[in-house]
Amino acid sequence: MERFYLAAFVVGFALTLISFLTGVAGHSLGHLGTGHAAGLGPGAHGTGGHGDAQAGSGVPLVNFGTLTAFLTWFGGFGFLLTAYSRVLAFTTVVLALAGGLLGAALVFLVMARILTADYAPLDPADYYLPGTLGRVTVTLPPTGTGEMVYTQAGTRKTVAARSAERQEVAKGTEVIVLRYERGIAYVRPWDQMSAPPPGSPASGV
């Protein structure tokens, strides 16, 4: 039995090490599919596919990570009890099984916490661009496309931008997004928001 426990430990530890180094555990254990959430704006992601189905249950109890952890701890406990104690064979098996379950439970808890944090559902309102303030980083020509930077949901992002009034907007100008269409933000300088748009009856142009 001593060799059996040692073999179980060696195999379990080797598989755990290999999975850690190659990232197999991260992809095989509870890979929750993700996809781009339509209509959430640039850079936004939402859970989908497996993610929605697993949102309540989280990581499956039986997976590659928990199995290798069980095997490693089971073999380790069994070997130590067999080699360095006088515990009966039946008691050794029971204690080794308990040790294996403990190791698997610890791995499960760590994985569940990590995956739950990574795949937390996102609020579409956090990625709604109209009304967002930003700053032009590439000058917006009257009829062309430039670029702006903005901060949303605690993250600094960039997006292609155009002038909503087809006027040049210089680099560094603070702007506000009026609408977002097909990956382009249509903006207006913030200091002009109190003035009517050019061409409107109130503007006199």
Task: List per-residue pLDDT tens for the chain, 205 residues long.
Answer: 778 888 888 888 888 788 767 654 444 444 444 433 334 445 444 444 444 434 444 567 777 778 888 888 888 878 888 877 777 788 888 888 888 888 888 888 887 777 665 555 556 666 678 888 999 999 999 988 999 999 887 788 889 999 988 999 999 999 999 999 888 999 999 888 765 555 555 545 4
- Greatest Cα pair distance in the chain: 99
- Reported pTM: 0.41
CA–CA separation, 118 vs 43, rounded Å? 15
**Cβ-count burial of 72 within 10 angstroms (0-12 exposed, 13-18 middle, 19+ buried)?**
buried
Q: Which domains does the chain have, with CATH numbers?
A: 2-124 (no CATH), 129-195 (2.40.50.140)
CA–CA separation, 19 vs 33, rounded Å? 20
